[in-house]
Structure 1
Amino acid sequence: MARDQIDMTPLQSRDELVAWIEAGVKPKSEFRIGTEHEKTPFTLEGHQPVPYEGAKGIGALLEGMKLLLGWEPIMERGNIIGLYDVTGGGAISLEPGGQFELSGAPVETVHQTQSELMAHLAQVREIATPLGIGFLGLGMTPSWSRAQIPVMPKGRYNIMRNYMPKVGKYGLDMMFRTCTVQTNLDFSSEADMVKKLRVSLALQPIATALFANSPFTEGKPNGFLSFRSEIWRDTDNARSGMIPFAFEDGMGFERYVDYALDVPMYFVKRGEEYIDVSGSSFRDFFAGKNKILPGERPTLSDWANHLSTIFPEVRLKRYLEMRGADGVPWGRLPALPAFWVGLLYDNDSLDAAWDIVRHWTAPERQALRDDVPRFGFKSRIKDRYLFEIAKECLVLSHAGLRRRGRIDHLGRDESRFLEPLERIIETGRSPAEEMLEKFNGPWNGSVEPAYQEYAF
């Protein structure tokens, strides 16, 4: 979640809401790749959560990063809560439980994603290690209770924290205990957006299975391979899920806007203040009928903020955001953008992927999404195991990346970043299954070794 937008022009018509999203359309030559990843900070001594305050807290970590990078601080009520690169590069932000997020710059190749990541990790280590802070690359904190986790000083999170228990069982777990890696990709027209949205929504469970590594809660196996993905099934169903309308005739920017208008809001930001309007729709706000702000009309900023509080498996903003994967150790992070770039940025692969999913029905897609957190590759759709489909998609992605032909200084194309996923397919086991084997074997029923083996 980057900075909350600050364009304060009041909106006059629904067309402006559509135009704001439509402004994301760009020619294929200008397509970029954005990768965001979250990681859980922990104390190197004792593997405890890291508080915000204090000489060895997250505030101190951000202050150190500010001095090292020369990035602009993002402040809220006197607290540093993030950093951004004024030259149009990346941003660093905090999730509610202190999860440390890098929102990468829009880059042209997965090679650049890898370089950005290596630079970021070197910088973070330089500051974090003397503070006694390490970072964990899992989809969910494996050993801490929710009560143990400190709350970051961000106004919007207080509003979400109060609202979440009203709308689902796991909203607070999502906020405080999960980590993800996401990739953001472009579209060249409305039709291109719709095709990419449909393919990536239908295939999001493949990313969930390939990246599944959240099998532990409070030190014990939780019965799932991706409990992070299970959490999203009961966080807030008014704003998450498989958005079946995307597959209906007439899908386009306007249809998504109509959906977003009815998604309940969390907050409106005015100056430094977050105003709690949770549960009311943007549609009412747009009509000047918000009970907290009677007669007031939203701005483009309010719209951009609202769109960032909608959490379907694939999110439409001015780009498409793939949201199905657990956070993973650094070696596997570039595999996510590589997988989706190979499938979605190559027309032949995109067509072939559409052929795989085009006959699936909404209930079938939903059942697959519901099964994947527990069963991973063993989930089925129609008469096929997800494992077979994942294998097929990996072949398509590989071919797409080869045809893209973006090579590094050693003459290698981007398909090399799929190697970790190809190894997973070769063994037939998701990362979570491998971890459970360790837990039941060499780890002797303890999750503590994860803090070494899955640390950044």
Structure 2
Amino acid sequence: MARDTTDFQPIESIDELVAYLAAGNKPRDKWRIGTEHEKFPFYVDGHAPVPYGGERGIRAILEGMQQKLGWDPIMDAGRIIGLVEPTGQGAISLEPGGQFELSGAPLETIHQTCREGNAHLAQVREIAEPLGIRFLGLGGSPKWSLAETPKMPKSRYEIMTRYMPKVGRQGLDMMYRTCTIQVNLDFESEADMRRKMQVSLKLQPLATALFANSPFTEGHPNGLLSWRGDIWRDTDNQRSGLKEFCFSDNFGFFDYVDWALDVPMYFVIRDGHYIDMTRYTFRQFMAGGARDEVPDGMPTMGDWANHLSTLFPDVRLKRFLEMRGADGGPWRRICALPAFWVGLLYDQTTLEAAEALTRDWTFAEVNRLRNNVPAKGIRAEFRGRELIEIAREVLALTRQGLKNRGRKNRDGYDETSFLTTLDEVVARGTTSAEEMLSAYHTRWGGSIEPVFLEYAY
């Protein structure tokens, strides 16, 4: 999740909230790629989860990383909960159950993103391995119950933990027992944002299927290929899921703001303290409804930025677009996810082709597909065709988009090589989750313990 911000500029009108999003418009030569990936820390001896404190805990990893990188600590009530590169180009943060996240710098190519990810994994391994800790690249926690999962000492998570059971059945599982890979991409205008939003919303179930990688829960198969994808079906439906208004022909920044204003808040920060705001929508806050609970009574632009970071639609709009459909996975997936979306959305010819492919896909059809993918993966059906057939078409498009970009590394290779792991899924006809399930029933002998060796960073 994003690092919480403070910006004390008072909000005078809804127009300012719309302008905040529109300020994300960037010319094409300024478009960047920001990749985020999460992973589960575990003790090599016994495969237990890693708590925050102690000589061999997550705090020790963060302190070791701070010393190694020279990054600035992110503090919460006197405790280190993350690190940020001094110029703001990247951050390390903690998810609620100790999931260790790199929020990457905005970079120009997938080659740079992949080098960044590799460097991060090497650095964190150097600090963690002497502590007997490694990291697991899966979309869902395969072994530990919710009760066994540690809780990180972040104030926002305490508020969310109290709130989640009131609004859905699986919110705590989302917080404490899932991991994702995510890519953040730019737009040049409101119209460009709309095009990218709509194409990526329609294809997000395909990304969930291709990256399905969470078939185990509490030591056993859970009957799903993407447990994480299923969790998002009942987390907090006011703030998450597929939003029909985004499918409108004239969808724009105002529409997203208008929706966000009526979603309950989580918190505001005043004098370093988090105040529970779950009783209020942002619109009520702007109308003065929380004067008795917030010292200054009225919202700031920092409050708005933080509120936007607590909305969880399949594609999230901030001053960029966040692709949120993929399970966490092995290191090759960290490069494949941004390659998949950059190829589709950053080349105009390919974006037009993706628009043509998906133009008449309706909200109801995409939502039905989204509901079927967690169990069926690439075998889910859409208009009488298995999703694997559509995957072939879409991967051909994104490959062409990456070729058209022509961004080559020192050895002369373009970015298409990062799609190989997805090509393998389509060629095999099985997802990573299905490969794990096959291993579980054969060579793993009905045990999930080997996953901690084969899917570890």
Partner of 1:356: 357
Q: 2:7 maps to what in 1?
A: 7
Q: TM-score by structure 1 length? A: 0.99
* Matched position secondary structure for 2:352: helix
Contact 2:275 2:294 in 1 (8 A): no
Aligned residue for 1:382?
383
Partner of 1:412: 413
Quick check: 1:2–1:92 contact (8 Å CA) kept in 2?
no
SS at match of 2:275: strand
Tell me the equivalent position of 1:289.
289
Structure-1 residue corresponding to 2:109? 109
TM, length-normalised to structure 2: 0.99
SS for the counterpart of 1:134 is strand
- How far did residue 249 of structure 1 move? 3.3
Could you say which residue in structure 1 is the equivalent of 2:257?
257
Query: Which residue of 2 is the match for residue 16 of structure 1?
Result: 16
> Structure 2 stretches of 5 or more lacking a match?
none
What letter matches 2:121 in structure 1? L
User: Which is worse superposed, 375-384 or 42-51?
Assistant: 375-384
CA RMSD in angstroms comes to 1.0
In structure 2, the CA distance between the partners of 1:128 and 1:264, relative to structure 1 (3 Å rule), is: same
**1:369-389 residue CA offsets vs partner (Å, 9 max, x unmatched):** 000001111111222221111
Residue 295 to residue 119, structure 1, CA distance change in 2 (3 Å): closer
Cα distance in 2 for partners of 1:174, 1:275 equals 22
The answer to whether the 8 A contact 1:2-1:91 is kept is: no
Change (3 A) 1:353 1:45: same
Q: 1:151: which partner in 2?
A: 151
Q: What residue is the counterpart of 1:33 in the other structure? A: 33
Aligned position for 2:177: 177
Q: CA deviation at 1:355?
A: 1.3
Q: Provide the residue aligned with 2:167 in structure 1.
A: 167
1:271 is displaced (CA, Å) by 2.0
**Which residue in the other structure is 1:424 paired with?**
425
Equivalent-residue separation in structure 2 for 1:293 and 1:117 (angstroms):
40
1:436 aligned residue: 437
Q: Which runs of 4+ in 1 moved over 6 A?
A: none
- What is the correspondence of 1:231-380 to structure 2 with a 5 Å cutoff? 231-290=231-290, 292-293=293-294, 296-380=297-381
Alignment partner of 1:40: what SS? strand
Whichever residue aligns with residue 311 of structure 2, its letter is I
Q: Which amino acid aligns with 1:24?
A: G
AA aligned to 2:214 is S
Letter in 2 for 1:177: R
Q: Which amino acid aligns with 2:453?
A: Q
Q: Is the 8 A contact 1:288 1:294 kept in 2?
A: no
SS in 1 for 2:147: helix
- Residues 157-186 of structure 1 show CA distances to partners (whole Å, capped at 9, x for unaligned) of 000000000000000000100000000000
1:294 deviation in Å? Answer: 8.4
CA offset digits 1:226-259 (Å, max 9, x no partner): 0001001000000001111011133100000001
Tell me the secondary structure at the aligned position of residue 74 of structure 2.
Answer: strand
SS of the equivalent of 1:147 reads coil
Give, in angstroms, the shift of residue 75 of structure 1: 0.7
Deviation of 1:356 after TM superposition, in Å, equals 1.5
Q: State how far apart, in whole Å, the 2-side matches of 1:455 and 1:56 are.
A: 18
Question: Match of 2:427, as an amino acid?
Answer: E
1:173-219 Cα shifts (integer Å, max 9, x gaps): 00100000000000011000000000000000111011101000001
